[in-house]
């Protein structure tokens, strides 16, 4: 999608939601002139804003990026029911809806099964600057660490990678009806909110 098509799509989606540029800007914690810039073809939204922008406009991130996924989406249903895969060879994280084989590094992958977070993998959520600050009381060694935090909503998927020897915390978007997960490289996937 080129910048003019993107601008037109954003304006169309926003007006269809009955939102003003100011309302959308406030929701995304940007200036109204930033939204105006996007809608007049003078800039693309920052990649970090794609997921919250898509949620605000009630579409998938793929739809916002111009990927023709509507037919697939109908079959695949709700992103919140996506399967999460992780490649044990390279650590790649894959979200998948509907029926399809997931493959990475030459091997097929089985979906991760999420358990409710136990004491060692639960997280504290604090709202700060329009985001969640998520903190774990979990070690962050190479052998045992939280590898990523993921969030699934009805129409979007978000993943934040964490790295050994860094803090066991990160910031993630606030999705009101999102399901939040963390993945421990030793103990697997946990539902944390």
Binding site for Fe ion (CB under 5 A): 184, 186-187
* Least gap, CB of 70 to Fe ion (angstroms): 39
DSSP single-letter state for residue 111: P
Residue 148's Cβ-count burial label (10 Å; 0-12, 13-18, 19+) is buried
* Least gap, CB of 84 to Fe ion (angstroms): 17
* Least gap, CB of 150 to Fe ion (angstroms): 16
Chain residue at closest Cβ approach to Fe ion: 184
DSSP single-letter state for residue 49: G
Integer Cα distance of 160 and 167 in angstroms: 13
Q: Which is nearer to Fe ion, 13 or 112 (CB)?
A: 112
* Least gap, CB of 133 to Fe ion (angstroms): 20
Q: Which is nearer to Fe ion, 80 or 144 (CB)?
A: 144
Q: Exposure string (b/e) for 10-35, b if CB count within 10 Å is 16 or more?
A: bbebbeeeebebeebbebbebeeebb
Cβ(87)–Cβ(112) under 8 Å?
Answer: no
* Least gap, CB of 145 to Fe ion (angstroms): 8
Q: Which is nearer to Fe ion, 39 or 147 (CB)?
A: 147
DSSP single-letter state for residue 31: -
Q: Which is nearer to Fe ion, 158 or 190 (CB)?
A: 190
**Dihedral (C-alpha) 24, 179, 161, 137: value to the nearest 10 degrees?**
120
- Tokens standing for 41? 């073809």
Q: Which is nearer to Fe ion, 14 or 138 (CB)?
A: 138
* Least gap, CB of 139 to Fe ion (angstroms): 8
**Residue 184 CB neighbour total at 10 angstroms:** 19
Q: Which is nearer to Fe ion, 144 or 171 (CB)?
A: 144
Integer Cα distance of 44 and 41 in angstroms: 8
């Amino acid at each position: 999608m080129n910048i003019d098509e993107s601008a037109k799509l954003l304006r169309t989606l926003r007006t269809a939601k009955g939102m003003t540029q100011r309302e959308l800007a406030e929701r995304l914690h940007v200036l109204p002139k930033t939204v105006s810039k996007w809608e007049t073809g003078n800039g693309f939204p920052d990649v970090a804003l794609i997921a919250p922008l898509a949620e605000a406009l009630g579409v998938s991130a793929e739809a916002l990026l111009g990927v023709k996924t509507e037919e697939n989406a109908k079959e695949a249903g709700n992103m919140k029911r996506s399967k999460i895969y992780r490649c044990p060879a390279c650590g790649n994280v894959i979200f998948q809806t509907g029926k399809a084989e997931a493959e990475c590094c030459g091997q097929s992958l089985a979906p991760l099964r999420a358990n409710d977070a136990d004491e060692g993998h639960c997280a504290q959520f604090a709202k700060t600057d329009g985001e969640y600050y998520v903190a774990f009381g979990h070690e962050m060694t190479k052998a045992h660490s939280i590898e990523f935090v993921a969030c699934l909503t009805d129409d979007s998927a978000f993943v934040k990678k964490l790295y050994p020897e860094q803090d066991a915390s990160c910031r993630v978007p606030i999705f009101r009806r999102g399901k939040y997960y963390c993945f421990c490289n030793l103990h697997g996937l946990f539902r944390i909110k």
